[in-house]
Structure 1
Amino acid sequence: MACRIVFVVFPGFQQLDLAGPMAVFEVARLAQPDSYTWRLVASAAGTARSSAGIAWPVQPLPRLLGDVDLVMTIGGDGIDAACRDARLIAWLQRASRSGARVASICSGSLLLAAAGLLDDRTATTHWSRSRQFASDFPAVRLQPDRIFVREPAVRRRSRRLPELWTSAGMTAGIDLCLALVAHDCGEEVAREAARQLVVERRRSGGQSQFSPLLDLQKPEGRFGELLEHVRRNLTLDHRVDELAARACMSPRHFARSFLAETGTTPAHAIERLRVDAARAALEGGLPSVQRIAEDCGFGSTERMRRSFQRLLGRPPAAFRKAQAQKPGD
């Protein structure tokens, strides 16, 4: 039996957020004809105009949810208005109680968060929305570096919470949908879909290289001077109380302000600065991995390896190898 997908769109949705996932499911259906069907829905039937100016025909939000297996919210510039659509929010809450899986592409995760579906659960979103997300939805465990996040279904207070999938920006929706295909149809079908689309089956790394944390390191940023201090002293512990004192804030106020402005915690920001420095050292052909781990504040190669896997999706050795294989070496 096919997985019956409902794509939720709104005026001003990002067209690639829809077209990318749709292409993945279309190619998967070529390999396994009974795998997926889909329809586009919106608060109002008729058409929904994408950010590219193309009007897509849409159906009304379905009253009966027994024939819906996956609800996928699309992102785009119109997401803020969609988050204020009471009818759409109520429908998403009802859909989450129906037993259907729930997923989002790009900033579509804000719509799920506005409906309360991500509270106390882990999610990601487009890097440009991470500050807004962290500020507006503090109950969500935001992981802004991830390409996509899958949260299994759980039972909480006698209520079953649905399986959740959230992705980062635009093309990351393709990564998420390839993972969905692998989950539903098997790895062979997912690999074939990736081959037909000429994309990587599993993209390495995350989206931290696009993060607003990089902008905050500029002198004019609110925490620019503080982050520069951390970058120049990676071997120090950098406890929150010490950082708060440098910022002339109480530890609690500092932690909240930092999260609101950067979309990440101080500890996570420090880890990312250490990974960036270690990666540059590895690619620059500097001394041993052990020496780099010590100089960048990890303390051990194993801690550095775990951080690289978590943030970049590859171990430190992969970056040393890439440097060694550059032409002319």
Structure 2
Amino acid sequence: MKSIRLLVYPGFQAIALAVATVFEYANLSLDEPAYDFRIVAETSGLVPSSQGFSVHAEPLDDAAYDTLIVAGDNECRLPSRRVLAYVRQSVTRTRRVASVCTGAFVLAAAGLLEGKQATTHWHHAHRFRKQYPNVLLDEDRIVVVDGNIMTSAGMTAGIDLALAIIEQDLGLDLSLSVSRKLVLYQRRGKGQSQFSAFLEPSAMSERIQLALSYAREHLADELTVDVLADAARLSSRQFSRVFSQETGQSPGKAVERLRVEAARLMMETSRQPIEAIARETGFGDRERMRQAFLRAFGQSPQAMQRASAGRTRAG
């Protein structure tokens, strides 16, 4: 049986606890349980979460776990020096070390991400880069695997991390089965983009929101930096700089995201051919749309269209 330990500390994000259910349902799907999941902390007892309630944790010890998963913190605060030292040493006695959301800050502070690829919540990516410039951060990914280190994006991406661990250990079929039992819309691939950055624009300035609103309403048009800058009432140079600062993305990347989301919605709610959807959402042709879908979702429009049709028939 593989030992999975979730490391928490005061103020940890409560949503990290969702990984427990993923491993629970993996066990329920098998004749014999495959995972022994427990919560650990610096000392035994109750540990307060970000929402105020507490969970009981076992104390850290020198056991050689199969996998240590480090929870995140809403403010990117680090745990004690003792916990950081424990995380630093764990890489030598644990087969796999992982983080949920801003838990990547803990792995980085412990020195485990130097020169490695990693991801974290998109909202904290700029701060992460400033603090840890030697980490190859890709905030546009859901899960990043680099050797025996795994990092996941923000919040619910911890579920994707746990599913990726199950896939590594027990195969894709079981991972997909657990995903279905958890009533997930679809199991997100490790290469899928994080989309939260443009779902909640309230943190952006009014001018950037104007540009994004214009883009959403004119997806079929040519959306150059000059066009978006004009919508934001800024110079092209100033717009590019402010847009990147506020969103962590280039304007071109943002437009592509808006287009793939619009195209995906059209595929799910209409029977239009892919060529027509590609034209209406500004891709121009199906090949450009296919490449964008592979970058965003890890699968082609045709594959997603088939999956959507299958869900409709099943319903």
TM-score range, shorter chain: 0.7 to 0.9
Residue 89 of structure 1 pairs with residue 84 of structure 2: yes
Look up the equivalent residue of 1:72 and give its one-letter code: I
Residue 149 of structure 1 pairs with residue 143 of structure 2: yes
Number of residues of Structure 1 aligned to a counterpart in Structure 2: 306
- What residue ranges of structure 1 are gaps of 5+ in the alignment? 154-161
Distance 1:40 1:214 in 2: 32
Conservation of the 8 A alpha-carbon contact between 2:9 and 2:79: no
Conservation of the 8 A alpha-carbon contact between 2:120 and 2:152: yes
One of 178, 183, 188 as aligned partner of 2:168 = 183
| TM-score, structure 1 normalization | 0.71
Sort the Cα spacing of 1:279 and 1:26 in 2 relative to 1 into closer, same or farther, 3 A.
closer
Conservation of the 8 A alpha-carbon contact between 2:179 and 2:187: no
- Aligned ranges 1:1-329 → 2 under 5 Å: 2-18=1-17, 20-30=18-28, 31=30, 33=32, 35-62=34-61, 64=62, 67-77=64-74, 80-81=76-77, 83=78, 85-98=80-93, 100-126=95-121, 129-130=124-125, 132-133=127-128, 136-137=131-132, 139-144=135-140, 146=141, 148-153=142-147, 162-170=148-156, 172-194=157-179, 197-200=181-184, 202-204=186-188, 208-212=194-198, 214-215=200-201, 220-228=205-213, 230-231=215-216, 232=218, 235-236=221-222, 238=224, 247-248=234-235, 254=240, 258-279=243-264, 282=267, 285=270, 289-294=274-279, 296-312=281-297, 315-317=300-302, 318=304
Look up the equivalent residue of 1:143 and give its one-letter code: E
Conservation of the 8 A alpha-carbon contact between 2:100 and 2:154: yes
For residue 72 of structure 1, report the CA deviation from its aligned partner. 0.1
Sort the Cα spacing of 1:29 and 1:293 in 2 relative to 1 into closer, same or farther, 3 A.
closer
Conservation of the 8 A alpha-carbon contact between 2:46 and 2:57: yes
Look up the equivalent residue of 1:69 and give its one-letter code: D
Conservation of the 8 A alpha-carbon contact between 1:190 and 1:201: no
Look up the equivalent residue of 2:206 and give its one-letter code: G
Q: Secondary structure at the match of 2:36?
A: strand
Sort the Cα spacing of 1:51 and 1:302 in 2 relative to 1 into closer, same or farther, 3 A.
same
Higher relative contact order (CA 8 A, sep 6+): 1
What's the RMSD between the two structures over aligned residues? 4.3
Distance 2:86 2:307 in 1: 50
Distance 1:118 1:275 in 2: 31
Conservation of the 8 A alpha-carbon contact between 2:266 and 2:277: yes
Q: Secondary structure at the match of 2:55?
A: strand
Partner of 1:158 in structure 2?
none
Look up the equivalent residue of 1:190 and give its one-letter code: S
Look up the equivalent residue of 1:110 and give its one-letter code: F
**Larger deviation: 174-183 or 93-102?**
93-102
- What residue ranges of structure 2 are gaps of 5+ in the alignment? none
Distance 1:128 1:214 in 2: 11
Q: Secondary structure at the match of 1:92?
A: helix
For residue 301 of structure 1, report the CA deviation from its aligned partner. 0.9
Sort the Cα spacing of 1:225 and 1:116 in 2 relative to 1 into closer, same or farther, 3 A.
farther
Conservation of the 8 A alpha-carbon contact between 1:28 and 1:189: yes
Distance 1:259 1:114 in 2: 26
For residue 9 of structure 1, report the CA deviation from its aligned partner. 0.1
